[in-house]
Structure 1
Amino acid sequence: MIKYIAYCRKSTDEQDKQVLSIESQIEELKEFAVKENLSIVKFITESKTAKIPGRVEFNQLIQLIEAGEIQGILAWHPDRLARNSIDGGRIIYLLDTGKLLDLKFPTFWFDNTPQGKFMISMAFSEAKYYVDNLSQNAKRGNRQKLRRGDWPNKAPLGYLNNKADKTIAIDPARAKFIAKAFRLFATGGYTYVDIQRFLSQNKVFSRAGKPIHLDSISRRILSNPFYYGLMNFGGELFAGKHRPLISKELFDQCQKIVKRHSRQENSIKSGFDFLGLIKCQECGSSITAEIHTKFYPRTNNRVAYTYYRCSKKKGKCNQRYIAKTEIETQIRQVIQKVSLPQTAYKKFLLWLEK
């Protein structure tokens, strides 16, 4: 007698309201199994989209079939099993190799014959077409909203999504601080860290309730044209209906400062060997470097020394400056732990010469 495994899936982002809940699928499959006299060994449930491969429970199902423990699959409809070509192909290949003997669906006919395999492959293709078409329709709908001046995603900080009329409204609690952050940054006397500190002091945090990441301050706030009335979507600009928080002149001035900061960062990195390679072990912040000079009267000479330190971008940190020579020593010690022994190194060279 064929041993069946019942697979029930409903994605959390399922667009099709007609798809049964997992609980309803289980009940349907139980009734169908009794009616068809099928032996269900196990129920596997999963709340994940089938648009892309990589479902944990589905992969477990495939492993059970490959191991010979299960010979049949019971599901409410073929689109519960696969909405992508890879997972659908795996099931058809298991049918071809004889490891999978049968598929049963209350809503779809299948027989393990060339005609049946053709029909199931068409069902998988149709399921894939559905999600592909859904994605295209969503993109088309977004572009239509943007042309009307409506923002289709979550509102940036300083704004709120008005669910009643699906518009973007100014956030009365945080908008004034976002606007002031632009004015402060435009003076050229404030860094990203200063802006982060200013926003945190005024209780303007990320959606997770944490201080806004420096990269988000640079890219999603200070470089976002949304704040002066334009919406950047996929690299294309659209005029928005929402009320701007700042003028275009203020935004353009901030972009000059952003570019200046970017050039400074690149020039700093080019002068120091280890920037971008290491992070602070205590707080996880990036490492920055400075050059200190010391004058020696006896030799009438000035000597430059390079020091590395924690940038403290993630908050308070107790680590102090460390000399470049000490950094080099620490890096050598790490590399030695993973480097090849001399004997293995010579053998490897001989092997390469062959």
Structure 2
Amino acid sequence: MENRGSEKSVIYARVSSKEQEREGFSIPAQKKVLREYALKHGLTVAKVFEEAETAKSSGRKQFSKMVHFLRDNPDIKHLLVEKTDRLYRNFHDYVELDFESLGVTIHLVKENEILSRDSRSHEKFVHGIKMLMAKNYIDNLSEEVKKGQTEKAAQGIWPSNAPIGYINKLENKTIVPDPKKAPLIAKAFEMAATGQYSLAKLKRRLYEMGLRSPRAGKELGKEAMSRVLKNPIYYGPFKWKDKIYQGVHFPIISKELFDKAQFTMGFAQKPKLTKRDFSFAGIMTCGHCGCAITAEQKRKKSGKTYTYYHCTNGKGSCENVTYLREEKIDEAFADALLRIQLNDEIIEFTRTALIDSSKDEREFRETQIKALNERYTKLESYISQCYQDKLDGHLEPDEWQSKTAVWKSEQEELSNRLNALREANTNYMLEGVKLMELANRASELFKVMTPEEKRETLGLVLSNSRVVNGSVEYDYKKPFDMFVNVTDLSKWRDLRVLNISRNLKHHFGSISQSHTLPTGS
């Protein structure tokens, strides 16, 4: 039952994220504190306004409704809110409220401050500074979110809302295929690849099959359908802030199907070969003098153009400047990828072994996180109750401050431990399986890759690629060095599995390989 005091008030409560709600800033908790304050000070609560959305920009619905309500009801003279950053998020909110012209008194309950048109100049100045601090907080929060998103992208994790066909998995903040929509997305690419569908016909057919837009639940528009078909995230890589990252999520389609759909729908643009777009530019050095290997094109009398690679001889002392045809280098690197190909029997055996070996570690980690979260929540309740005791006069300010400092210090330590546990690379076992699957397909995919994709793949698998006496030599990076020429499951079972599970983070030395190439044309 509301207090029936002599003056009326409104309550404004807001959370800006699910995280804040979990951290003890929930709307019910705010309303409880504010109602108790109203009762203690003889104020009638005429209306409660609740906001549960992030809003850096102005125009929050409940905030605006509250301002209009105060204008339409001049007999309401008090606004109760927990603290400054619950009320304002930007300067526009400050201007829109204009508490002096409304004749409203603001009660910042947790800051133990009351502000009205009769407040002293320095009090209004301090309030303005706090408003700017609230704006600075959200600006910093926004920057931290952007920074965190970029860091997630660099780890191969899609950092935003899942695209249609995937859903966000809250447990580890990744995306996984949507059981209902992923098959329809795969079907969309298959249909597009046949060349028998226009965008209009394709989107209509998919609607009939059950595909709906995520928000409106309607048929996808032509632009939305086009964006789906052009999005490489469905076979692995994704674009974030104008940069391409290799995703760690499970692909819905193959790259071959994606490429075919691009071609048949007219999306693909054939890459133009320029002097800066040679397939192996910048990834090899001369094994004799250490200078870079460069590429150039030469035209024969027949008019046919060939691409050759040779030492730049930048030091002027190389005695073995050999010209190698690009086709021969391509064959050498394709052979390098073929040598790490594993058969399906070995991959399936190792997948089972690795997943089994990671279960105990994952369960132990989850138990630790649960226990730490429970302790953090309990400390939050201690802090809230202690503050209430201070408001009620049951606790002296010095004692409240001392107890709160101890609990907050423990919370900070808990947060650090939780972050360490969450950021720990506990998926390295599953990443090992993905690396083997990549190794199994690398040689086949290499044949149809663009120059840029070839360089990226070779950079992932090989290191120290060099030309020595007409040969391309290279070292396999870890853990691909363990896959070289492995075909026998019994030998792999006896000699490799334990090493993989033990050394996905700390691998053995690399294996140097060479491939002799003919020189000249």
Q: TM-score, normalised by structure 2?
A: 0.43
The amino acid of 1:228's aligned partner reads Y
**Structure 1 match to 2:87:** 81
1:214 counterpart = 2:217: no
The amino acid of 1:113's aligned partner reads R
The amino acid of 2:12's aligned partner reads C
Q: Is the 8 A contact 2:167 2:177 kept in 1?
A: yes
1:116 counterpart = 2:114: no
Alignment of 1:42-191 (within 5 A): 42-49=46-53, 50-63=55-68, 65-66=70-71, 68-91=74-97, 93-95=98-100, 97=101, 99-100=102-103, 102-108=105-111, 109-111=113-115, 112-171=119-178, 175-191=182-198
The higher radius of gyration belongs to: 2
Alignment of 1:1-354 (within 5 A): 3-11=7-15, 13-17=17-21, 18=23, 20-35=25-40, 37-40=41-44, 42-49=46-53, 50-63=55-68, 65-66=70-71, 68-91=74-97, 93-95=98-100, 97=101, 99-100=102-103, 102-108=105-111, 109-111=113-115, 112-171=119-178, 175-200=182-207, 202-207=209-214, 210-219=218-227, 221-259=228-266
Give the 3 Å change call, closer, same or farther, for CA 252–55 of structure 1 in structure 2: same
The amino acid of 2:36's aligned partner reads E
| Aligned-pair CA distance for 1:239 | 1.2
| Aligned-pair CA distance for 1:206 | 4.1
The 1-side partners of 2:69 and 2:184 are apart by 57
| Aligned-pair CA distance for 1:145 | 0.9
| Aligned-pair CA distance for 1:226 | 0.7
| Aligned-pair CA distance for 1:198 | 4.2
| Aligned-pair CA distance for 1:177 | 4.6
The 2-side partners of 1:64 and 1:243 are apart by 50
Give the 3 Å change call, closer, same or farther, for CA 170–3 of structure 1 in structure 2: closer
Percent sequence identity over matched residues?
Answer: 32
Deviates more, 1:138-147 or 1:50-59: 50-59
The 2-side partners of 1:60 and 1:226 are apart by 41
Give the 3 Å change call, closer, same or farther, for CA 128–15 of structure 1 in structure 2: farther
| Aligned-pair CA distance for 1:160 | 4.5
Structure 1 counterpart SS, 2:20:
coil
The amino acid of 2:57's aligned partner reads I
Q: Deviations over 1:241-271 (max 9, x none)?
A: 134344445434433454579xxxxxxxxxx
Q: How many residues are aligned here?
A: 256
Q: Is the 8 A contact 2:11 2:45 kept in 1?
A: no
Q: Which has the higher helix share?
A: 2
Give the 3 Å change call, closer, same or farther, for CA 31–187 of structure 1 in structure 2: closer
Structure 1 runs not aligned, ≥5 long: 262-354
Give the 3 Å change call, closer, same or farther, for CA 83–38 of structure 1 in structure 2: farther
Deviates more, 1:59-68 or 1:99-108: 59-68
The 1-side partners of 2:123 and 2:6 are apart by 18
Q: Is the 8 A contact 1:179 1:246 kept in 2?
A: yes
Give the 3 Å change call, closer, same or farther, for CA 258–78 of structure 1 in structure 2: same
Q: Deviations over 1:185-205 (max 9, x none)?
A: 234321123323443454444
The 2-side partners of 1:167 and 1:14 are apart by 17
Structure 2 counterpart SS, 1:151:
coil
Q: Deviations over 1:112-146 (max 9, x none)?
A: 11111112112222222222222211111111111
**Structure 2 match to 1:275:** none
Give the 3 Å change call, closer, same or farther, for CA 38–105 of structure 1 in structure 2: farther
Q: TM-score, normalised by structure 1?
A: 0.60
Give the 3 Å change call, closer, same or farther, for CA 4–235 of structure 1 in structure 2: farther
| CA RMSD, Structure 1 to Structure 2 (Å) | 3.3
Give the 3 Å change call, closer, same or farther, for CA 217–195 of structure 1 in structure 2: same
| Aligned-pair CA distance for 1:65 | 4.5
Say which structure, 1 or 2, has more relative contact order (CA 8 Å, 6+ apart). 2
| Aligned-pair CA distance for 1:12 | 6.5
Give the 3 Å change call, closer, same or farther, for CA 113–257 of structure 1 in structure 2: farther
Give the 3 Å change call, closer, same or farther, for CA 138–200 of structure 1 in structure 2: same
The 1-side partners of 2:141 and 2:173 are apart by 21
The 1-side partners of 2:207 and 2:69 are apart by 52
